[in-house]
Structure 1
Amino acid sequence: MNNTRKIMCTSVAAALAVLATPAGAQQFKPSDELEVVTVTAQKRKEDPAKVAMSISAVTGAQLQAEHIRDITDLTRVVPNISFTAASGNGGAGPGTSNIEIRGISSTAGAATVGVYLGDTPVTVGNVYTMGNIEPKFFDIDRVEVLRGPQATLYGASSMGGTIKFVPNEPDLKEREFTTYTEASNTKGGSANYAANVVANLPLIPDELALRIGVQAQHTGGYIDQVDGNGAVLANNINKINDQELRAALKWKPTRGLTITPSVYYQRIDAKDIAAFNLELPNYQAQKQIREPSTDTLLSPSVTINWDLGGADLTSATSYFERKFDRTQNGSAYNSYSLSTFLTSTEDGGKAPPELIEAIAGLPSAVYLNNQVRQVSQEFRLASRPYDAAVSPWTWLAGTYFSRQHTNVVENDPIFGVTALFNQFGFDIADPELLPDARPGQFPNDNSFAGAFHYREKQASVFGEVNYYFSPALHATVGARYLKADTTLEQRNGNYLAGAGNNSNAATSSHAFTPKYALTWEVSPTNTVYTSIAKGFRLGGNNIFVPPTTCGPDLEAQGLEAGPPDYQPDSLWSYEVGSKSRFLNNRLSINADVFYVKWKNIQQGVYLPTCAYTYNANAGDATSKGFEFDIKAKPIPGLTLSASGGYVKAELSNDVGIENGVVGAVAGARIQGVPKYNAAINAVYNFAAFGDKSAFVMAGMQWVGSSKGSLDPEQTDHDRPGYHTTDFSAGMSFDRYNVSVFMKNAFDTDTVIQHPQVASIVQGYRLAPRSIGLTLATRF
């Protein structure tokens, strides 16, 4: 299925047409046809209706007009995409969510969805509750969502699909300045605002151009922090500030050579997470420690395209660095865990009950400092597009190399713990009071210190060949061979690390991932296709699980220690689909069905008492379902669209529970995957005040129920379905476009996730209703 017509978003683009029209020419001229958006899913520009895969391409105009701000918004308007928090993390804020496509869950191990920023791969694994990198939708031409395994052209971790953020390129001809400002207010919370400016500057006409833009945004909060008596300590604590900068230079020294260096930077500063205590009044969080985070991304790259006459050579050299520093409230497990180790006087020990109770109530923080760095290089050579007069063959071949380093540093202080022991007249290093205690195990009250260094090296060769039996019928065969080496160095210490751990581990992986497809253009406006493809992701090494803190949890899993590693997993996907346009491109209908067999699935095992997670292989799974997209333009100016998907993703054997994964039995639904999602949208463009263009728009999105955990005893096992409704309207005035909008118009407040972190059940909901105003200009 090709959701691109949602995507084709003609109505939305028309609603913002003033932004793409020279000054003095803004006249309302509604098109009778749906717009077609070119995509680069197969690393060459193509009409998506001719590509044998399910694609959605959401344009920048649609992102702006429908106020799609982030990945979570995107999952509500694109079929069969979902998001969930990193394993054991409960949706704890920006930078911790993971993306699933077609039920291929990525809550543990390597990612299952590849993420690209232009030609730069920015895919990271699920390491230590760190989720996907989430580039902001700033100066974006389109976002392409490729469903199904993309291992042939995009490598490991694209087993569920790939998401490509395609930025606007510098224009060698037109000088242009655009601005966008927005202000809104959230019900029961604080104000939101955003502003950006982008300049396109031809420095040498037709040869050299610079495109540069900056953006700043503030998202207001709606969660209040309260103390044990319910008194408000701080309002709207879950505020988020972010800033973005993008600069790109396009140099075309000769007709056949284009060199495009670019750099993207973003910083996301979250003041706290959007979690509240379900036992308290709505949207209140009782916590001793605030949980802020700072997530920065720097990504420079250079892309070279060289027309060699008979083929096109592309070189993509890229680097990215992510720094993600965050604080978690560790009071509910660090302090409590320590209190359980004290030898109580009631059992013949030395610790009075008053000391045990006081220790359990101490505040504790988990400080996580994450850094990911990657350098990558891809070369690919592609033949000319198909020409029956030249050859029945087209082809693409390439090679890819990458080196990724991930560093994680954790420190878990229990504030005031040493002084509290002294206050009761005890030495914190007394082994008769605290078993196995030794001097120096609580430096500066730090109960746990860990340092983890992951290295990953990848090298691969890939290619695809198309053979045209006739101009209307062609077959595709592709393959990728990949080799990878991963290592983990870890150093753990202090009391909650038990005896500590200093170890090194290494694993190697290799994979051959073929793809086969058949495409038949039944008519110029009707294409049917079928495809078979293999997906793969790397295995890896587990972090050390402290037996002192996590002993009871490990015993419950039937283990004496956490497993040292986990194995690769792979899948085969089978898909049949059609893409059709009718009534002179005023109606498009796209649909597909798929079936996926997934082997040796990687899953996270969450240890609730100590809040640690290790990865294990939880047997096999199947995922099957369908997607559809319908878009119609019954009369000029009116565009109606409906899209949706259904997926049934579940384990197919009991191997997982035999490996200690609670609830991993045949028939258990894969966590984080809604049964369905759907969206409808209606936009009417019309003339106002003579030749001014105006629009009104309404849309609804539905997300089905899902499972937050395989374990039916967990509070987040059953997640409810929910729906949202949005409205907007706007008008253009010469160089200006003004609109008003209402997001989550009926203030849906369903608690969509409710994980238990230690003894506290947390709630997460959709952002409350917001009402706002936007102003866009172009000069």
Structure 2
Amino acid sequence: MKSNRSVLSAHRSWGVSAAIAACLGCAPSLAQQSPPQGESSPAALGLEEIVVTAQKREEKLNRVPISISALSESHLEQIGAKDLAGFAREIPGLSVQAATNGGAPSIVIRGISSAAGDATVGVYIDDTPVQAVKSSFSADPTPKLFDIERVEVLRGPQGTLYGASSEGGTVRFITPKPSLTNFTARARTEFSSTEDGEPSYEIGAAAGGPVAEQLGLRGSVYYRTDGGYVDRVSRVDGAVIDEDANSSESLAARLAANYSPSDNLEILPSIYYQRIRNDHLPLTYSTSGPLQVADTTATPGEDRFVLPGLTINYDFGSAQFTSVSSYFDRRNDQRFDYSTITGDLLFGTAIVPGFEDYRSVGDTRTTQENFTQEFRLSSPNDSGPFGYTVGVFYQHAQTDFQQSVAEPELEGLVQTLTGAPLEAVLGMGLLPGGLTYLQTSATTVEQVAAFGEASYELTSQLKLTVGARVAQVDVESEFYADGLYNGGPTAPELLGVQRASETPINPKLTLSYQITDDDLMYATASRGFRAGGPNTPVPVGRCGADLAAQGTSAAQLRSFDSDSVWNYELGAKTLLLDGRLSLNGSVFYIDWSDIQQALALPTCGFGYVANLGNATSKGFDLAIQYQLIDGLTLGVTAGYTDATLDEDIYAGADPITGARALIARKGDQTLLTPEWSGNVALNYQREFANGVQGYARADLQRSSAFYRTTSEGTTSYDADLYRGPAYSFGTLRIGMIRDGLNVSVFVDNISNEQPVLFATYAQNPSSRMFQQQTTLRPRTIGISAAYDF
């Protein structure tokens, strides 16, 4: 059973949800030799040159003809980034959408996002894909940013080298390789206080280096507690039941080895573990006080994964061979408060008068077990005018989902309100354990792909790159549900294994012109793909009237097809004024066809995925960095995305009247993300006496207003929810470095902005009793210290 959050968000997320988040151009601390925006590396600015592996071979970033940003660990620490949301402000074209269920947010690149179907952005830890299927109950896993060598963000479809689910782009978290020559160690700690909330703190340590002539090891461990700031209160009298309820804790550990028995062979085993526990989802109620929620039950959750992997590199001299084997094991448990859904579905009001403390507890568990194997062969970097990367890829991914809704008090509620037993009123009783809903599903995706990219230098400056990926994607799914809200057991005709199979081909063509070592122009056309698959069956007993009104049946909604994008892009990376001015940017035009869209049925509380309509996303990202004087750097970025539907989208026709409900209108803008966003950063560093370096950094992000629903006259339009506010987010950090010790003080969300990012009403909008909302963490002040041995 879908929650009110999932159904309404699905209904309002008809396809494109865009965002150019800001910020490639924020200047990092020169004292720490961090890269500017991951886009250029001018020696004149005293910034390190980053080597990336975005094209699955080592290359200097400013010679890679794709739109890419790379942020080093030192830069991530300086901006205070602890996770994906912390560095999204630094990357143009990347945004983090407010979660529709109060949990983990969604990743959006260049407006390509959907609330349904397969992922639209690939998420990789090193060379292992870990993204999850779109769901209101589970989001993409992302590692905590401790002992991370760098983060790479590739904008635009990466279908050639990364395959399905990289339709909008790819985010890569690159971990450090153990050294065979040098021992390094570091420790980091932080303490902070959030306004009207609990304190937060963290501690982490990492060390590594040679332990034998041909063997190196590296290990790290990291722990963080984020203090809560949302109070859970009583619906009866507003008294606080649980102060600062939404605290969370994170634990991450990694152990890696580097065994090199010869100059040509490198064997890299590793294991990564991460666990995140939250005590309560960070949702608030509009009818309660500021930063308060009136849930009748706590909503704890736990998300943990284990990732063992083995990478083998062998240098043949004339070619470089790589084998990557990995197994990703993830379990995500989350509890939800469904008490408002019961009232809406059964009695037409979110909270039943006299039963304000009614409890309805929803528990979900999502598990992922993915085995991945990739073999690839690449030309050496000095291979001359011709270069290539070719490979084969195999993945077996198993995703299981379980959901239960327990309402042992429902029998008493119905008896009191109607004077009759539950079974007499609603036609059936409770399942064992007081359950009103029980669902289990299992989906298996098997992919086999061959891919390759080849480049040829037409002249010493002009290079042509062509690539393609051919894949076979097979999907199998089984589903079963039962209970009052399902209208009884799943109908026999909807049981059994549902299958889908596709053979996508993703080509790519790039023409690049390397004007100088620091100046590059390029043009790209590339295709991205997202697999289709089976639908979760719609319960006939509960949703028969809704299906009939749309002129369809549950059997006709058993599966949905793939969708795809074509991306056309022009980009440039350049340095001016003897390297003091860096300009980086790109313009893009994206055609998105047969968009996988989540649709909600109007009264029964369920929905499905369908291919409805096409969209166009166009825009640009621009980063400017200018060294004003020695030690003082100004960074300015701007991002713009205009993603709109190309046509009206209708539901099925009513079999009696022939009328078709308008779901979304041609020209409707993107949802939940701004058209415009930008960032201004000032970074100053100065060396004092006795080897002390001081630095100060200030950032101000600005996001324009955004839309939460489609336009007036559509089925999901809501005047109260339609338009979200523009808002700003400012940070300040001041610190000093001496002899490996880096100490700083910081303020995040300086102006204590509290914009309503996500908002929805309960299941039945006619009740209009309250909005469920999410917002930013309030103003936070803290101190951090790191020591490099």
TM over 0.5: yes
Query: Is the aligned partner of 1:13 residue 2:32?
Result: yes
Give 1:636 deviation, angstroms. 2.7
Give 1:8 deviation, angstroms. 7.7
The aligned runs of 1:236-247 (5 Å cut-off) are: 236-247=244-255
Query: Is the aligned partner of 1:92 residue 2:86?
Result: no
- Tell me, in whole angstroms, the C-alpha distance in 2 between the residues paired with 1:714 and 1:248: 54
Aligned to 2:517: 524
What SS does structure 1 have at the residue aligned with 2:30?
Answer: helix
Partners of 1:657 and 1:665 within 8 A in 2: no
What SS does structure 2 have at the residue aligned with 1:334?
Answer: helix
The aligned runs of 1:166-565 (5 Å cut-off) are: 166-205=174-213, 207-228=214-235, 229-339=237-347, 362-388=358-384, 392-419=385-412, 428=421, 430-431=423-424, 433-435=425-427, 437=428, 441-501=430-490, 502-550=495-543, 559=552, 561=554, 563-565=557-559
Partners of 2:192 and 2:781 within 8 A in 1: yes
Aligned to 2:663: 663
Partners of 1:654 and 1:665 within 8 A in 2: yes
Backbone CA RMSD of aligned residues: 2.6
- Read off the aligned partner of 2:76 and give its amino acid letter: L
**Runs of 5+ in structure 2 lacking a partner?**
1-19, 36-42, 654-659, 711-715
- Tell me, in whole angstroms, the C-alpha distance in 1 between the residues paired with 2:549 and 2:47: 58
- Tell me, in whole angstroms, the C-alpha distance in 2 between the residues paired with 1:15 and 1:115: 24
What SS does structure 1 have at the residue aligned with 2:341?
Answer: helix
- Read off the aligned partner of 1:767 and give its amino acid letter: R
1:21-62 alpha-carbon deviations (Å, 9 max, x no partner): xxxxxxxxx974333211111011111221121111111111
1:646-689 alpha-carbon deviations (Å, 9 max, x no partner): 00001101245569885322111232332122112111111224
- Tell me, in whole angstroms, the C-alpha distance in 2 between the residues paired with 1:188 and 1:200: 40
Aligned to 1:21: none
Q: Which moved more, 1:220-229 or 1:500-509?
A: 500-509
1:75-132 alpha-carbon deviations (Å, 9 max, x no partner): 222112122256xxx24123xx221100001321111100000111112111353211
- Tell me, in whole angstroms, the C-alpha distance in 2 between the residues paired with 1:362 and 1:490: 30
Partners of 2:198 and 2:229 within 8 A in 1: yes
- Tell me, in whole angstroms, the C-alpha distance in 2 between the residues paired with 1:593 and 1:362: 53
Aligned to 1:773: 783
Query: Is the aligned partner of 1:576 residue 2:595?
Result: no
Q: Which moved more, 1:512-521 or 1:124-133?
A: 124-133
- CA distance 1:716–1:256, shift in 2 (3 Å): farther
- Tell me, in whole angstroms, the C-alpha distance in 2 between the residues paired with 1:770 and 1:555: 52
- Tell me, in whole angstroms, the C-alpha distance in 2 between the residues paired with 1:335 and 1:412: 14
Aligned to 1:762: 772
- Tell me, in whole angstroms, the C-alpha distance in 2 between the residues paired with 1:362 and 1:377: 49
Give 1:359 deviation, angstroms. 7.7
Partners of 1:34 and 1:586 within 8 A in 2: no
What SS does structure 2 have at the residue aligned with 1:76?
Answer: helix
- CA distance 1:610–1:361, shift in 2 (3 Å): farther
- Read off the aligned partner of 2:761 and give its amino acid letter: Q
- Read off the aligned partner of 1:46 and give its amino acid letter: E
Aligned to 2:738: 733
**Runs of 5+ in structure 1 lacking a partner?**
17-29, 342-353
- Read off the aligned partner of 2:451 and give its amino acid letter: F
- Tell me, in whole angstroms, the C-alpha distance in 2 between the residues paired with 1:469 and 1:236: 62
Partners of 2:360 and 2:405 within 8 A in 1: yes
Aligned to 1:55: 68
Give 1:386 deviation, angstroms. 4.6
Compute the TM-score of the two structures, normalised by the length of structure 1: 0.90
Give 1:761 deviation, angstroms. 1.1
- Tell me, in whole angstroms, the C-alpha distance in 1 between the residues paired with 2:310 and 2:22: 30
Query: Is the aligned partner of 1:702 residue 2:702?
Result: yes
Aligned to 1:76: 89
Partners of 1:380 and 1:399 within 8 A in 2: yes
Q: Which moved more, 1:99-108 or 1:602-611?
A: 602-611
- Tell me, in whole angstroms, the C-alpha distance in 1 between the residues paired with 2:464 and 2:598: 39
Q: Percent identity?
A: 32
Aligned to 2:640: 646
Aligned to 1:719: 724
- Read off the aligned partner of 1:265 and give its amino acid letter: Y
- Tell me, in whole angstroms, the C-alpha distance in 1 between the residues paired with 2:750 and 2:604: 40
- CA distance 1:429–1:764, shift in 2 (3 Å): closer
What SS does structure 1 have at the residue aligned with 2:82?
Answer: coil
Compute the TM-score of the two structures, normalised by the length of structure 2: 0.89
- Read off the aligned partner of 1:633 and give its amino acid letter: Q
- CA distance 1:180–1:626, shift in 2 (3 Å): same
Aligned to 2:753: 748
Partners of 2:202 and 2:222 within 8 A in 1: yes
1:126-177 alpha-carbon deviations (Å, 9 max, x no partner): 1353211122112111110000010000000101000000112211112222
- Tell me, in whole angstroms, the C-alpha distance in 1 between the residues paired with 2:27 and 2:50: 6
- Read off the aligned partner of 2:102 and give its amino acid letter: A
- Tell me, in whole angstroms, the C-alpha distance in 2 between the residues paired with 1:596 and 1:465: 24
- Read off the aligned partner of 2:368 and give its amino acid letter: V
Which of 31, 35, 40 is the equivalent residue of 2:48?
A: 35
Partners of 1:240 and 1:270 within 8 A in 2: yes
Partners of 1:105 and 1:672 within 8 A in 2: no
- Tell me, in whole angstroms, the C-alpha distance in 1 between the residues paired with 2:405 and 2:206: 43
Give 1:425 deviation, angstroms. 10
- CA distance 1:236–1:555, shift in 2 (3 Å): farther
Q: Which moved more, 1:409-418 or 1:142-151?
A: 409-418
Give 1:430 deviation, angstroms. 3.7
Partners of 1:80 and 1:677 within 8 A in 2: no
- Tell me, in whole angstroms, the C-alpha distance in 1 between the residues paired with 2:149 and 2:762: 40
Give 1:428 deviation, angstroms. 4.3
Give 1:12 deviation, angstroms. 6.4
- Tell me, in whole angstroms, the C-alpha distance in 1 between the residues paired with 2:229 and 2:511: 51
- Tell me, in whole angstroms, the C-alpha distance in 1 between the residues paired with 2:356 and 2:745: 50
Aligned to 2:680: 680
Aligned to 1:66: 79
The aligned runs of 1:119-198 (5 Å cut-off) are: 119-198=127-206
Q: Which moved more, 1:3-12 or 1:362-371?
A: 3-12
- CA distance 1:238–1:249, shift in 2 (3 Å): same
